[in-house]
Structure 1
């Protein structure tokens, strides 16, 4: 009989839904060593929490995360909450010996991230940070192609993460737009994904130069109970200050000599969730766009001169990462599948007592780059990292 792992999730909105779907789907499509059991869902607003639990099949609900974490029958704590709530919950969960599946970005500061990592390691728990884009098959294929030398020596990295959901000046002041709950704007939220991918595909970053700006500095207050899925309702006529940046640009130098750039914005009108990157090397180049996530564009200088050009690889073959467990060739997968892949690898790490990546150490390294970017934008100076 297949072993089980009891999961307790804290948070039930956008990421709570994405994570719940992954826990449910993982054992249906993959041969996992243990079946996750959706044991307890935890959140502050009991009526909507119960509705969430019933819809997704969570067996019980709890409004106090401390009581959830102290339960002896819970093996995994899934933190599907905004980043200002990660630190306290992750520390407590690790001290209780629970394995941790945590949303990104890891924390509000390098100092918090360092302590989270230390406590997890002291208590020998598996800790995973959900930069799920590493598990998009096209991106995993890009990693393999780079490691196999198909691009030769790497020269350039360009990344952009563009959204448009706050272009309207009457969009309310949600938690993502306040420093006390978000730490920073798209530089923290969106660039955390891009920096993690840069570390994964290119390597560590040595120095950072950044700038940021605000386009709208005041917004109507939000009804916090209505926030979720990047949507919210206005709460009355009172307004408040936006205390994080609306857009950020960052130029970096990697330890291996590669030059890189990052753009993060929520004011790219028409872009809903466009994460793209370009990698240029001595033998070839790769480009990727999350809005076409089953495709990877590849240029090879070894092709004949008269037929050279970027060619599209449709990443749906059984030989491609993760794909053989899904559908026949040509049948594409979507955003939610990367979460399933993360759950599969996380369960494997628990069962084999090995650390999974990205983990809190990777998250700490990303925090260092992001903090350096904020400092650079503030001081208008290049910041050298001591990683």
Structure 2
């Protein structure tokens, strides 16, 4: 995220422009996006998170920023509900142009571009050392929600890096069902789990995976995704499903499995993992690899953000000073009630930010 923000700052200053960043988050992205652009004069950031569906530390990392360029909203809904309103705002070309509207979650291509390096780095460390067969595949277990990280892995695989990718999800298993049976259909509701940052039923980056696998057939992918957004149900064409299965394997883990994995990782290695990382590591414990094969898991966050899950696993942790300090800070955010018109509320706020900029530029 910091890398993306530095690119953004460079180009905005070079071109004498400003940007308004609009981020919908299921938990982790909001805090990291805020931190990456904190205090930048060229940028205002609006972050919308699902109230009551993120951990307390995640919420405080978003709501305790006192910087003037940070604007936080807590929405009474799920992260998928938030994305509906945000899509409508990004679909307004005049609003995007006038206010330099952009995102910093994995909707933004640069996030995925930076993440591709993780997969190449892992391969070079684990499968390309002295005496290793450079053609041997590295299996990578990827905790998956919006599917941005797994998209980065797909790009590396298509570029020729020998990877075996496994998308691991929690009880919100739409990606798992898509891989297993071609069923890209939302469940009736988003299930609240111990791994909230991947509590997602609309894995929007799969659109990019489909585009890559279909030979960049934008017309076909556009038609598929429009059907999915309208009906929330889609059966993948047989050819596309076969291509998906050639690139990805998948698995799904319940909360009990997450807790079991956190306990075992601590017992076996004295290494404390967050519940999202545990979604990936569960696969390692339950699906042993062949002798001599290589495997790694993409870890996602600090366990200090998920104290409830740590305690439910019967484990303890020493909180970092930066986390302890959050409780003493004042929270600042606005609430988007369930009955509010979220799109209109956010649109007015974006416009008010633009008006304030114009007044500052005019010296009034």
TM-score > 0.5 by shorter chain: no
TM-score, normalised via structure 1 length: 0.30
Quick check: which one's strand share is greater?
Answer: 1
What TM-score do the two structures reach when normalised by structure 2? 0.31
